[in-house]
Structure 1
């Protein structure tokens, strides 16, 4: 077996199962707010589109995807990020959800023959970034995102020598778990570092369509690049998905877009990787990317949850509305893992300890003392969970 597999840590939910072993939950209906799996109803238009496209199951799909899907994605991205152009033929590729692409991208980008390659990740982070770096033969390095730095990147935490070995930099904006959105100035700093040291930026934007002000959607990487005059998106690739936007995590449909040169290499890798998207899923995806009505309705439900829950939970927890996404990053009274375990026993509400989403770096684990609360259940169920938490802590 590949010895690099031994470097992989258990996934957060494996740790959670061990933490909860032997706990007898309170005798009330369980409410699971630990995993970021959308539980809103899948729009009917997706069911209809899949039924109409069943004939696509009889053919092998191409890795590059059908032209119509790439054209649809390019048009959506141009509308969403106010781009004057995005070449569907060279700057867009469909992928089987952002998770698959975020992992495989590192395998295509990292040159393990160069001395001691590094991959930078936010901390806390989506664990796929770490696993992708390790299995690509690189060492993951973490930039702590803490209340003290406004949950931003402490770019001074790495030395010039370390920056010279960075080959890939994972960004998550809106962030998991904090919901923070990078500003234009922060993007400018990252682009300047990328120009200086030559690393590629992978911008994970799977939460980009969950936000609270319809007039102010979160700034995206391609949008920031365009505003800063980087019209070819040099060394930049963004990752998006229908999972959160349209409540279809099981569809496994997303896309990557950006630097045409990098995507040409990524396409070559994917041809051998065997990860072509079913033509049936591609046809359904066209219908979904072309419809915004269901996305607005989805945001409305999340907005109502935050409007109702934040004032309630803030009575007992240090918590506030994020910039975007569907998480609350709540400071806990005492150890976060012990808090989650006792909360399950007392309320049958499941939350995720923050320390499971982070690694110790620069002298601390920035997830310790926090829990991630995923407001993915229905409005009434989320409100019931919040009431139980308040009663428990009071």
Structure 2
């Protein structure tokens, strides 16, 4: 067996299952699950119909690069969304089966684990795929703490020059999971300068980019930042995006990688052997999804409505703040985060995720400890009911 497998930790939801062992929630309270970032708004009918109408495509092997129509739809979306010039769909766009598999596979492609001291920089808290990708590629993850005292900023200055010299890949998540923070143009500029100096590749996880609360403050993307800063070849940066949160189709597993054509050429070679082509019906449904913005605007409206209702409800009891974007509240708890989550489950049948499960100890602290992640993914009525139960729990403390 691959010896690196022993370095993988249990996934957060396995830890949560163990935390809740032996609990029997009150039977008169229906379960409300706000622990997993799984969109639960209805999938738009036109996407479902496009998928069903394309089932004849199941008789054909799909291409690794996907169809011209899909790559073209993604390229045009990038141009519209970020004000980019012509994106070459043949060399700068690669469809993938959701960002999860692509973020992991990308690490296996770009990391040279035979190089002594190979390192991968990750935000902390973080999406667990980054850590697994680093370990299984033979590299060591380096965790960059995102702390409330600096507004959950990336703080690239905190990384020693000696560490930067060994970094081969930097994962950034903007808007962030779980903090909801968006990287500024100045932060992108600093990261690009560091990449030029040390030669590492940037993997920008942007799957929450289409859920924002202020139309005058749309999340800036990595490719947009590169273009605005004169990096018109997108050198050393690729971005990852998905339809899951944008279009409420997590089960379709449809996303893309875009950016530096030189890097993507090697990534396509890797994927040719990886065997992860997207199903033709999913490609057809993805085309219509990327070409439509009305359903995305409606999706944002639903999230805005929920945050507008829930945030002032919780504010007298927990230190909630509006995130820059995304659908999480990242909240400091009056009890240890695991105790808060376990008691909330046991006494009120509301499931949230302890923040310590989303982070690792770095610099002597676990930056997720003492926080919970609340995913406002259910409908408004259910989220309001959950908020009322959380308030009752806080009142009882």
* TM-score normalised by L of structure 2: 0.98
19-28 or 30-39, which moves further after superposition? 19-28
* 1:48-63 alignment runs, 5 A limit: 48-63=49-64
1:224, distance to aligned residue in structure 2 (A): 0.5
1:26, distance to aligned residue in structure 2 (A): 2.1
2:23 is matched with which residue?
23
CA offsets 1:62-83 (integer angstroms, 9 cap, x no match)? 0011111101100000100110
Partners in 1 of 2:294 and 2:274 — Cα distance?
Answer: 35
1:280, distance to aligned residue in structure 2 (A): 1.1
Instruction: Confirm or deny: 8 A CA contact 1:43 1:294 kept in the other structure.
Output: yes
Three-state SS of the structure 2 residue aligned to 1:195 is: helix
* 1:113-262 alignment runs, 5 A limit: 113-262=114-263
1:154, distance to aligned residue in structure 2 (A): 2.1
Partners in 2 of 1:292 and 1:267 — Cα distance?
Answer: 29
Instruction: Confirm or deny: 8 A CA contact 1:26 1:344 kept in the other structure.
Output: no
Partners in 1 of 2:22 and 2:135 — Cα distance?
Answer: 33
* 1:257-296 alignment runs, 5 A limit: 257-296=258-297
Tell whether 2:325 aligns with 1:351. no
Partners in 2 of 1:156 and 1:320 — Cα distance?
Answer: 26
1:24, distance to aligned residue in structure 2 (A): 1.6
Three-state SS of the structure 1 residue aligned to 2:323 is: coil
Partners in 2 of 1:218 and 1:160 — Cα distance?
Answer: 29
Three-state SS of the structure 2 residue aligned to 1:387 is: helix
Instruction: Confirm or deny: 8 A CA contact 1:26 1:347 kept in the other structure.
Output: yes
1:214, distance to aligned residue in structure 2 (A): 2.8
Three-state SS of the structure 2 residue aligned to 1:237 is: strand
- Alpha-carbon RMSD across the aligned residues, in angstroms, is 0.7
Structure 1: gaps (5+ residues): none
Tell whether 2:366 aligns with 1:365. yes
1:92, distance to aligned residue in structure 2 (A): 0.3
2:2 is matched with which residue?
2
* 1:88-103 alignment runs, 5 A limit: 88-103=89-104
CA offsets 1:140-195 (integer angstroms, 9 cap, x no match)? 00000001121011223322111000000000000000000000000000000000
Partners in 1 of 2:275 and 2:343 — Cα distance?
Answer: 44
Partners in 2 of 1:364 and 1:314 — Cα distance?
Answer: 26
1:216, distance to aligned residue in structure 2 (A): 2.9
Three-state SS of the structure 1 residue aligned to 2:215 is: coil
Partners in 1 of 2:87 and 2:199 — Cα distance?
Answer: 23
Partners in 1 of 2:137 and 2:219 — Cα distance?
Answer: 31
Structure 2: gaps (5+ residues): none
Three-state SS of the structure 2 residue aligned to 1:55 is: helix
1:76 is matched with which residue?
77
Partners in 2 of 1:269 and 1:301 — Cα distance?
Answer: 39
CA offsets 1:75-97 (integer angstroms, 9 cap, x no match)? 00010011012111100000000
Q: Number of matched residues?
A: 394
Partners in 1 of 2:371 and 2:271 — Cα distance?
Answer: 38
* 1:292-303 alignment runs, 5 A limit: 292-303=293-304
Partners in 1 of 2:157 and 2:258 — Cα distance?
Answer: 29
Partners in 2 of 1:391 and 1:337 — Cα distance?
Answer: 18
* TM-score normalised by L of structure 1: 0.99
1:324 is matched with which residue?
325
1:215, distance to aligned residue in structure 2 (A): 3.7
